[in-house]
Structure 1
């Protein structure tokens, strides 16, 4: 396999008016400069150390959920369970009859034993009465602790009582609950599980209305929902919001964002996102590097695309190099079909022919450099067949 040092001081002149030069220096793939809009595109892939990889596939980038959620809200006909009814009665008896604060253990037990929406309704009734008692009798004006509030939101989502779950995000509420981004994440994770963009938008509106700070983890979930539902407009809308808020996006979010742009065949957007990525992190992940490769192919620069793959392969430790082959096969067999699907009908045939030609040149260039690749290029024919 050709050593990365052979790339030192070599350069590849790009023909596009927008696209400057890809330069290799001391084993590093430097920025592609000279793009219109005063941004540079491709940050360094350093061979001095392993490429940073979060272990998530750039294609799906899953968000791990710690609990299983109901697919929808339970009906009122389910009725409250005996356990929650008994706990609810004990809390009310303690407050109304004995005029003493109910033990915290009862509240926690109610939260963990909720099985349906009616249980949740009793839980919120108890929380409201407990808050009033704390204020009037104990002169405690603070809300319940943040951990309890998060568990309430988690319980609401678990049983499908989403209307109550949204109430946990209200800044001004009668339940003594303090809204938090963590609570919002429980609701957003439910939206991701069911590809529910409507719920996602509702939650994001509540986050904004109640002045909750956006977090990198919020972007991970939101970007993933937009990608999985093939909703580029929503992703564009929320990406602007996260960038404007100064949120430092995770590698996972950049992978999703750049991968989506590549699937749409939008090379200009790939470079815009890449510029943002390069400002916050030095090294590429596998997913963002592949997206840059696809951007070069879209612009008719297969030799430069092959050079990126070669540097990427050399930058990875031996245990991770197999993943490059996996992503290359996806680039050959899946990516062209996605690009064509997003094109106008009258443009699809020309785009399919160009992609097939550019990918073949890239593969041949990789073989000529000595890089061992085992790809099924027959899948490239599918891209042209669906346009004929």
Structure 2
């Protein structure tokens, strides 16, 4: 049934893109010529080293493979918050590659891209992942009434990012990034039980090795799940900032802003403020804003050009970052169930919190370079982060509690 909440979110998702397209200022014939010029994928990046006008539409994007692991066990500061509850585990394997756009799985994204001439294809990725949530007590065969239910989601995520660029009246380049994602998933498989049992027997010892509570998980036995997500990111400032989009643009601090919404197993609207401090490239701000998340595009623009003498600072990017997120969660199927599929135990809708917020901090170390004789950039990267998430529910039968979990990510060139 299409509720008012879902109708509002669907309208937000599908009408935000046309609104931005209508705000584009008229351009003269010279600018239009620049905008429609494309680069061959084999042209060297050094040709565009000193660009001072809008870069061409087709930007060479490297192929990467990423692994992200979220675990409550990885939360170390303070160690006393490391507990086996709430968001207990998540793993994603992500491939980013330009040719993904040609796949039939990316047909909806190609249609969005073709709907307007004002957007450039920026990146595409596909991910396979799983995520698990548990209550405080995991070895009870009876549901813990008032605590969250067990939930495990196995999914394939497809994501595409489009970039919109224009110059303001002062001649400065303005960029926004629009990411569209579709998750195809299954709730209620036995994978959550198997993995948690294995992990407690062999990796994280001292915790229950037979989590019997999985017999009461959301949609036990299996049920399909979908999620449609839209995320808009806009860089706000960087310091120092150059009036150029050259390949060597550097800064020590930058700031960005996200706005998004999703419909499916999460009905929500969200926003966040994101800041980085360190040895930065302005052009990579949108890429790292998504981190190693399976919903992120996992793509970015050209890396440092090939030089006769490559210096460490030319290939290295490292920074600390922080993020503050705010979410209006109208419905969370991992708490209240899917509706069309029976679950033995769920939370009452009135027990769930609508307003949520989250604090995240971490670091990224990355190396990007051109291999001799090759035009495509190579990327190696590592990310570590900690997340503090406000209580998602309040049954009044237990004290409200925060989520605390850590995450690590590795990225390799393909």
Using the size of structure 1 for normalisation, the TM-score is: 0.22
Rg larger in 1 or in 2?
Answer: 1
Larger relative helix fraction: 1
Query: Structure 2 length as normaliser, TM-score?
Result: 0.21
